[in-house]
Amino acid sequence: MFELNWHGKPLHELDYEESVEFEKEIMKRMLSADRHRMSDQIIEQLKSYLEYVKIHKEEQLQLYNMGLTGKEEKEHDDSYSLIIGEPMPEPEEDED
């Protein structure tokens, strides 16, 4: 599988604003390819890239609308989380 990059940054790491700029750049390339009568394969490939960027942009917009930046998972502190399947410590026996 391929990975789309914008200015050396993978698509999945782009925020909303960067995604919008990436989308604009691809649209400009599509117009240029059409203007210079490049092959239909190149134009179709650019269209598919544009769809990936649009999907990512929509995901970022949804996160933004929920008040999230998409980076919360990395910052998540699970020290207070319930860990299922972890053995409980043995109870200490009192010596009377």
User: Which residues are CB-contacts of 28 (< 8 A; sequence separation ≥ 6)?
Assistant: none
Structural domain range at position 52: 15-70
Asked whether residue 93 is domain-assigned, the answer is no
Question: Is residue 43 exposed (0-12), middle (13-18) or buried (19+ Cβ within 10 Å)?
Answer: middle
Q: Residue 86 falls within a domain, yes or no? A: no
Residue 84 — very low, low, confident or very high, per pLDDT cuts 50/70/90?
low
The tally of domains found in the chain comes to 1
Q: Rounded to an integer, what distance in angstroms lies between the CA atom of residue 70 and that of residue 83?
A: 24
Please check whether residue 78 lies inside any domain of the structure: no
pLDDT per residue over 4-59, tens digit each?
A: 888 889 998 989 899 999 999 999 999 999 899 888 898 999 999 999 999 999 99
Q: Is residue 10 part of a domain?
A: no
**Residue 83 resides in a domain:** no
The larger pLDDT score, comparing residue 64 to residue 47, is at 47
Identify whether 39 is part of a domain. Answer: yes
Tell me which DSSP letter residue 63 carries: H
